[in-house]
Amino acid sequence: MKNGKLRICSFYVSDWHLTAMLLPFIEERVKSGDNINTIFEKDIESNMKEILTRLQIDSKTKEKILNIDWKSKSLIKYDDVKNYLNQIIKNKGETIILVEGNKERIEYINKNIDRWIENQPRKLKNKSIKIINCYEVTEFNENLKGILDMHNKILNTSGIHNIEELYSGYIKEEA
């Protein structure tokens, strides 16, 4: 994990699939006391509320999941991303940043996150940050390998895995 940062990718086919795919991971991380944040292009707050009403999850965990900001954010410019990250980085637990949007938006936000991390060596010392980039598969039909090459791991409904576990024959191209 370079600079205490792990980059994970995930793929979804609809807003409901995104919500259902993220929920098991989010539930586990909330119970671990991790700091979960979103930079979403889409607003999935109503989907999250709907799914949580139908699941057998303890009320304390449900409340913590609902307290995560599932609304869309128009954070694109470096200063906006920097100000948001300065607000969300806490001393306790691992920081998880979920990024959702089209490929270009995700790449731009990730560049701004990387720039911010490079400028925070003291603040982030001994700090672990997971960036989970969520791509809608209908937004891109080409270059899946290129997206996989930019990430360390992949998230699906069963958790975080090595990319090679889910894509047999995949060999990462080193930049």
Answer yes or no: are the C-beta atoms of 19 and 145 closer than 8 Å.
no
Q: What pLDDT sits at residue 36?
A: 94
How do residues 40-58 score in pLDDT, each as one tens digit?
999 999 999 999 999 999 9
Beta bridge partners, 107, equal none
pLDDT > 70 in the chain, percent: 93
Q: What is the pLDDT of residue 175?
A: 58
Report pLDDT digits (tens) over 62-72. 999 999 999 99
User: Does 163 score more than 50 pLDDT?
Assistant: yes
What confidence tier does 143 reach under pLDDT thresholds 50, 70, 90? confident
Domains for the chain: give ranges and CATH numbers: 5-166 (3.40.50)
Given a cut of 90, is residue 111 above it in pLDDT? yes
Residue 145 has pLDDT above 70, yes or no: yes
DSSP 125-154: TT--EEEEEEEEGGG--S-HHHHHHT-SEE
Can you tell me whether residue 100 is helix, strand or coil?
Answer: strand
Residue 2 has pLDDT above 60, yes or no: no
Do 32 and 92 contact (CB within 8 A), yes or no?
Answer: no
